[in-house]
Structure 1
């Protein structure tokens, strides 16, 4: 499996450790960020193949962060998957309209989590 880098933007330490463990067990390299600003700094330093991002961050709304990332030429086409505990009716459409490629509901279903990440990284969809 080719080594791909995932930027994981998550402010909850337990969720960060869980997602990082799952992703690393699948052979992915994970770079973590706990705030929107950290995420932007990480992107400048190490352009990820995919961004997994909590939509509720302490310093900036996740959807605003998606718009900032999409506005930059270097990250315009980077795959962004939202992580959200707020999977209410209509949220998927709102998240996709904002610029995310897809979303993953919390709590994480490990098999679905892995298959969603693989779908975007391993096939380039």
Structure 2
């Protein structure tokens, strides 16, 4: 783990659930997480994400917004409405659709932050570390990219 990632992650690797219906996006983000010393778990659907969240603990969830079947927004709604401890897990929206929603709208939907696609490594890692360290209280958002 690099010193920057150790400092931001309070000296420990993070456990990150990445949800995306695109296998290439899953692979790219997995490579980024691994390069920074974090453990990534991949899910290719909203239902699979909810199953992971019901049985495993994650520091952060990276959630594609537009997926077939159950959208990322629906997953976050269900997660936030659940009674388990996972309901408070920070969730970062990953979306190429940054022009149609303002940052405050993602907050109102239950996301803690968002990262635009195509993903820039620096923006993704900054968002992950902010969310994992609780720097996004009240689901306050800032645009990163």
TM-score, normalized by the shorter chain, greater than 0.5: yes
Question: Are residue 68 (structure 1) and residue 78 (structure 2) matched?
Answer: yes
Structure 1 unaligned blocks of 5 or more:
none
How far apart are 1:84 and its partner, in Å? 0.3
The structure with more radius of gyration: 2
Q: Is residue 18–residue 62 contact of structure 2 (8 Å, CA) maintained in 1?
A: yes
Whether the aligned pair in 1 keeps the contact of 2:113 and 2:131 (CA below 8 Å) is no
2:111 matched residue in structure 1:
100
TM-score, normalising length from structure 2?
Answer: 0.80
> Structure 1: which 4+ aligned runs deviate by more than 3 Å?
none
1:112 matches 2:127: no
Q: Distance in 2 between matches of 1:47 and 1:71?
A: 17
Secondary structure at 1:76 match in 2:
helix
Stretches of structure 2 lacking an aligned partner (at least 5 in a row): 1-10, 136-145
Aligned residues: 124
TM-score if structure 1 supplies the norm length? 0.92
Cα root mean square deviation, aligned: 1.3
Residues 38-78 of structure 1: CA distance to partner in whole angstroms, max 9, x if unpaired?
Answer: 00111122121111000011221211111100011322211
